[in-house]
Amino acid sequence: MRGGDRTSLGLWGEKQAARYLRKQGFRVLENRFRCREGEIDLVVSRGPYLCFVEVKLRRNAEMAEAREFVTPGKQRRVRTAALYYLMEHPSPLQPRFDVVEVYAPQGESTRKPVVRHWEGVF
């Protein structure tokens, strides 16, 4: 898969995740927050939580769940980016780190993706 294809597929996955979270009552505050130390795919809030969301896109869940691919290094970068976000956007809400898995059936663009939300993963 070429870089451009991967980027557009990643953006599609993030869009699906944001749509799902909105339907679950979350408010999307930021898409693709970037700082020099890393990136956060989505920043959302609901109730007492400010959630920093890593979106993982997969073709299927046969081998492993996508959340298993959030490595310790990626977790560290997301946490650091979250600190930068909170410096720019102070919040009284409790921070939480979630993962949203988006499973996109290969070659079946007419089927809806399967979306799973894992709260407080790291």
Percent of the chain with pLDDT over 70: 84
1 — pLDDT class (breaks 50, 70, 90): very low
CATH number at residue 31: 3.40.1350.10
* Residue length of the chain: 122
Helical H segments across the chain, by residue range: 3-23, 72-88
Strands of the sheet with 27-35, listed across from one edge: 27-35, 38-46, 49-58, 94-103, 114-118
Task: Supply the range of the domain harboring residue 55.
Answer: 3-118
CA separation for the pair 97, 7 (Å, rounded)? 23
- pTM check: above 0.85: yes
Mean pLDDT, the chain, integer: 89
- 21 has pLDDT over 90: yes
Kindly tell me if the per-residue pLDDT of 2 is higher than 90. Answer: no
- Which tens digits make up the pLDDT trace of 31-73? 999 999 999 999 999 999 999 999 998 876 665 666 677 899 9
- Identify whether the C-beta of residue 28 lies closer than 8 Å to the C-beta of residue 44: yes
Count of domains forming the chain: 1
Q: How confident is the model at residue 110 (pLDDT cuts 50, 70, 90)?
A: low
Q: How many other C-beta atoms are found inside a 10 Å radius of the C-beta of residue 115?
A: 19
- In the chain, what percentage of residues exceed pLDDT 90? 69
Residue 81 Cα distances to 2, 36, 56, angstroms: 27, 8, 17
